[in-house]
Structure formats: C-alpha cells, structure tokens
Amino acid sequence: MNVLVVVSHPRKDSLTFQAADRFLQGLTEAGHDVEILDLHGIGFDPILRSMDEPDYTQPNQMFSPQVKTEMERLKKHDAVAFVFPLWWWHLPAMLKGYVDRVMNNGFAYGSNKLHHQKITWIALAGVTEEQMKKRNYDESITNLLNVGIADYCGVPNSNVEFLYETLDAKPEHYENLLNQAYQLGVKYDKDIP
C-alpha cells in the first residue's frame, strides 16, 4: 500500500515527529511505500481564502496552486495517516486548515470522493485514557474524525488511535508510546476487508 503520512507539529524534535518516524518505520518494515508530508516544513498556509472556499455552484471548481499541489499528492496514495498532537480536544489549526482547504468540495466530497482505502488518525494526548473518557472526549473525537471527515469523504475504513500521557517525562513511557506508533505501522492494513 502507498501511504501518505501527514504530520502537523511546529517542531521537528517533538514527540509527534518521533511517533511519526516510528510509525513510518513500521510501515516500511511491513512493505508499504510511504511519503511524509510535514505541513510546517512545506510552509502550508492553513487559512481558507476565497479562491479555495467551497463553491457548490461550480461542477469543476478551480483551486489555488498550493491546494492543487496537495490534491495531486493525495491522488498518488492508497491511504492516508495523520499524526498530530491533540490540542483543545481537536486537530491543531495547521491540520484543520489542511482538511478545510485540501479535502474540498468536488475533490473529497460532493461530486467526487476520496479514493483512499484507509485513513488513520494518530492523536498524541497529554491526558490519561481515564481523563479522555471522563466526558466522552474519546468518543466525540473519534466520531468527528471517522464519520464527520473520513466517511463524509467516502473512506469507510478510518480509525483513531490515541497515544496517551504524552506529558509524562519518564523515558520508558515515551518508548512505550513510540512502540505503539511502530506497531500501528506494522499492522497498518490488517483490518482492511
């Protein structure tokens, strides 16, 4: 499988990037082809401007050059994985802007849908699993990403994976989180019918 891994974090030395690297390692060892997209590294502009605003009256909307480039990048892959920190119980602004601009009407939903076999969302959460479940944040986030975005864009195989307690400074805990990310890569396509 050819997998695009989209990473959203402003620092390359972050735990988010370390998890993405280990996930990529697992994907590669499982025989997948991978491309990493560092949204901050390419200077992606997350602001939805008028040229990229969904126009439901146009059957073939024209988009900005940056959005067209990213749409073409998505077309080259069978699957997508997003790796990001969970901020305010949601996607970081950079990744939300990517979804808003690139996964646009006429390309990802509406008259066309995404062709991808799978989307995986790897969310790094500073809280414990119990804290996440306390007010059903885990269910809300999972529903938003799997149903509100992936399913709406025509991708029925979508899963959300949480890496918990990312603020725990113990090296052995970080290694456990990185091993989780690695295993997600190794077992990436095992649940696709």
| pLDDT tens digits along 58-96 | 878 899 999 999 999 999 999 999 999 999 999 999 999
| pLDDT tens digits along 97-149 | 999 999 999 999 998 999 999 999 999 999 999 999 999 999 999 999 999 99
CATH code of 2-186, in short, is 3.40.50.360
Ordered by start, the domain boundaries in the chain are 2-186
pTM above 0.85, yes or no: yes
Q: Is 175 exposed, middle or buried (0-12, 13-18, 19+ CB in 10 A)?
A: exposed
Q: What is the pLDDT of residue 181?
A: 98
Q: Cα separations (Å) of 136 from 38, 141, 164, 173?
A: 30, 9, 15, 24
**What angle do the packed helices 65-75 and 93-102 form, to 10 degrees?**
80
Q: What is the pLDDT of residue 193?
A: 63
